Amino acid sequence: MRADIVLVRHAVPVYPYPGGPDDYHRPLTDAGLAQASALVDELAALRPDLIASSPYLRAVQTIEPLARALDLPVHTDHELREWDSGIGPTPDYVRYYEESWADPDFARPGAESLNQLTTRALKALAEFRGTVVIGSHGTFISRVLAGLGLAVDWPFSRDMPSPAVYRICDQGIAGPGI
């Protein structure tokens, strides 16, 4: 990786529910929008060359205040999206996530395994150069960190705060809980 990558887990979103907005269209809550604005000074101090994001609305909304402050566009990339788990909005999603973390090669029909996500995520990040701030998601970030050799597990991913900032650079990896 020849970049200083700053992965920003989205701020607090509207939680999924049956019949609610799909993953691409779930927005931030009012509290989440305030959290996104509160990130601007910290992220602007890194002087990013590029701002990129998952195409999911909650990720884009989290870094839009930074983009406005720096007068930079937000470049969305489908490869930066969250894990395609194959799990719909269900109250017992935790059980399914635990099962997937216990066997990262397992994929539900038509979905991707956690190991496939890791491969996709690391490949996408390898394309960046310079200092890049990326609006992202908890499982995506967790699998990047696991792919870089950190001992990241389901409890780490489950307990990741929203928002959370993880910086990956030549000096190492920094972020909450690392």
pLDDT tens by residue, the chain, 178 residues: 578 999 999 999 998 888 889 989 999 999 999 999 999 999 999 999 999 999 999 999 999 999 999 999 999 999 999 999 998 887 788 899 999 999 999 999 999 999 999 999 999 999 999 999 999 999 999 999 999 999 999 999 999 999 999 999 988 899 998 8
Nearest to 62 by CA among 165, 159, 160: 165
Joined together, the tokens standing for residue 48 give 């990013």
Supply the pTM of this predicted model: 0.95
- Helix, strand, or coil (residue 56): coil
Which residues, including other chains, have CB under 8 Å from residue 135's CB and lie 6 or more apart? Answer: 8, 10, 51, 52, 53, 54, 59, 60, 62, 63, 74, 80
Cβ count near 130 (within 10 Å): 12
Cα dihedral: 35, 36, 38, 40 (round 10): 170
CA distances from 168 to 112, 144, 150, 177 (A): 24, 10, 12, 14
Q: Are 30 and 13 in contact (CB under 8 A)?
A: no
**Pairing, β 74-76 against β 50-53:** parallel
User: CA dihedral defined by 142, 136, 110, 103, rounded to 10 degrees?
Assistant: 0
* Tokens found for residue 7: 């992965």
